[in-house]
């Protein structure tokens, strides 16, 4: 049994859906479960719709109409006007949003977010399943919310692994014998049958959950790149594909911000020894990158860039030491405000961190921190992480930069930087 995961870029239009069907058609190994994201940039549009609804903006219905037209245009292009149940199926799915936005928002905004944004995955998988059946691939649509069980932490549902594993083994596994299963990434369900999401870009994680619970032979993530590259092509003109990667290095790279794989993806696979392949849906014949338990170091340095960073420096007001008790209070506040630390450095009387710059959240965090500490704050920065660094690689990325914070370990160097002022 194999798990395939296709992201939004792979199904951004009718040609993408057709290409997916061709890849599935050429799969000859055994049982197959496919996890699919929302189409193209639809998650962004659904987030915009959610915000418009929460603020009661007049734009809400126009945004929703645009989302509906986008999907029905793809269906029209695929089926060329032929009658197919997918038209009614998708229309009925969109009714769930219609009902919700007709009323005023009267619930937790994160709950509302999950109920609206999750529809992107539901609709995309209905369209793909219909096309697979139309082209002779026997497919069965399955609702991931019935299998991936979470708590009520909306926008970042925590998976109940014992319950999820039991349901998948009991109810989903038998369905794979005669069908290709098409299901959703990113979404789960609570014990009260409410929809949750697993965190932005969480479809990779969903695929890993299914792979782990089904004891799959492998998970393949289909991307628009030939495999895992040693740098994002947005930042480097010349990049190299990494043919083989250890679980350890993959976890390190995703933790530091490499976007090719979701950070939570590796652990469920590592626990079961399931290999992960990253391959190109543009050139499916390519070998891609294999991520396995083999613990060989990377043959080349890898670079990870995170922009829009804020550097927060925290000092005790009485110039006492930063000790365990201070750090405990500081970390508790970061946790309360749901702000992830990307890198950190502490000295005797200061503690500095780099975080993604979410102005509203950071404002509230700094207000709370300022009750006990003196806080300084810089924004508009970038964080560069080099895995398997040397001085030459550091020099390569620090041209015309001022380094505000630098942290080095045996294999990893992280620098928070800004452009030099003239």
Whether residues 134 and 26 fall in one domain: yes
Structural contact between residues 240 and 189, judged by C-beta atoms closer than 8 angstroms? no
Whether residues 211 and 329 fall in one domain: no
Q: Facing residues of 187 across strands?
A: 197
Residue that terminates a domain, selected from 197, 223, 249: 223
- Which of 309, 389, 401 minimizes the C-alpha distance to 352? 309
Pairing of strands 180-184, 139-141: parallel
Whether residues 203 and 94 fall in one domain: yes
Residue 296 placed within a domain = no
The CATH number given to whatever domain includes residue 364 is 3.30.2130.10
Residue 254 placed within a domain = no
pTM of the model: 0.88
Pairing of strands 2-6, 32-36: parallel
The CATH number given to whatever domain includes residue 132 is 3.40.1160.10
Which residues, at least 6 apart from 206, have a Cβ–Cβ distance to it below 8 Å?
5, 35, 144, 148, 183, 184, 185, 186, 187, 188, 198
Whether residues 219 and 309 fall in one domain: no
From edge to edge, which strands make up the β-sheet containing 302-316? Answer: 341-346, 351-356, 302-316, 373-387, 412-419, 401-408
Number of structural domains the chain divides into: 2
Residue that terminates a domain, selected from 223, 239, 265: 223
Residue 323: domain span: 302-419
Residue that terminates a domain, selected from 223, 251, 267: 223
pLDDT tens string for the chain (422 positions)? 999 999 999 999 999 999 999 999 999 788 999 999 999 999 999 999 999 999 999 999 999 999 999 999 999 999 998 999 999 999 999 999 999 999 899 889 999 999 999 999 999 999 999 999 999 999 999 999 999 999 999 999 999 999 999 999 999 999 998 899 999 999 999 999 999 999 887 899 999 999 999 999 999 999 999 999 988 888 788 888 999 999 999 988 888 877 778 888 999 999 999 999 999 999 999 999 999 998 877 778 999 999 999 999 999 888 778 777 788 889 999 999 989 999 999 888 889 999 999 988 999 999 999 999 999 999 999 999 999 999 999 999 999 999 999 999 989 999 999 998 75
Whether residues 190 and 93 fall in one domain: yes
Whether residues 90 and 218 fall in one domain: yes
């Amino acid at each position: 049994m194999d798990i395939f995961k296709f992201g939004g870029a792979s199904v951004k239009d009718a040609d993408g859906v057709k290409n997916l069907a061709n890849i599935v058609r050429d799969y000859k190994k055994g049982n197959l479960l496919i996890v699919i994201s929302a189409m193209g940039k639809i998650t962004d549009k659904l987030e915009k719709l959610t915000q418009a609804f929460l603020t009661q903006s007049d734009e809400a219905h126009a945004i929703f109409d645009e989302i509906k037209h986008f999907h029905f245009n793809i269906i029209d292009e695929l089926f060329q006007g032929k009658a197919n149940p997918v038209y009614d199926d998708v229309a009925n799915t969109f009714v769930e949003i219609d009902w919700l936005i007709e009323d005023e928002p009267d619930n937790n905004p994160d709950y509302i977010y999950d109920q609206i944004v999750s529809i992107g995955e539901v609709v995309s998988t209905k369209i793909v399943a219909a096309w697979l059946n139309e082209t002779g691939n026997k497919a069965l649509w399955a609702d991931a919310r019935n299998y991936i069980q979470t708590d009520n932490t909306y926008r970042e549902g925590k998976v109940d692994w014992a319950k999820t594993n039991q349901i998948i083994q009991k109810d989903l596994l038998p369905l794979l014998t005669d069908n290709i299963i098409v299901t959703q990434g990113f979404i789960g369900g609570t014990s009260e049958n409410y929809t949750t999401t697993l965190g932005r870009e969480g479809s990779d994680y969903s695929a890993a959950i299914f792979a782990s619970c089904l004891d799959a032979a492998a998970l393949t993530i289909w991307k628009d790149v030939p495999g895992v590259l040693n740098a994002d092509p947005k930042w480097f003109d010349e990049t190299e594909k990494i043919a083989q990667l250890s679980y350890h290095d993959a976890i390190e790279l995703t933790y530091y911000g490499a976007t090719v794989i979701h950070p939570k993806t590796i652990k469920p696979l590592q626990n079961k020894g399931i290999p992960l392949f990253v391959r190109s849906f543009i050139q499916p014949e390519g070998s891609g990158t294999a991520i396995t338990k083999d613990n060989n170091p990377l043959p080349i340095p890898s670079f990870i860039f995170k922009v829009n960073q804020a550097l927060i420096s925290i000092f005790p007001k009485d110039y006492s030491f930063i000790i365990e008790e201070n750090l405990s209070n500081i970390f508790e506040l970061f946790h309360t405000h749901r702000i992830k630390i990307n890198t950190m450095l502490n000295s005797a009387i200061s503690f500095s961190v780099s975080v993604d710059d979410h102005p509203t959240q950071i404002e509230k965090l700094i207000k709370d921190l300022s009750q006990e500490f003196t806080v300084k704050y810089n924004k508009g920065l970038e964080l560069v992480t080099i895995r398997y660094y040397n001085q030459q690689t550091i020099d390569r990325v620090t041209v015309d930069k001022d380094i505000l914070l630098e942290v080095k370990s045996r294999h990893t160097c992280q620098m928070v930087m800004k452009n030099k002022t003239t």
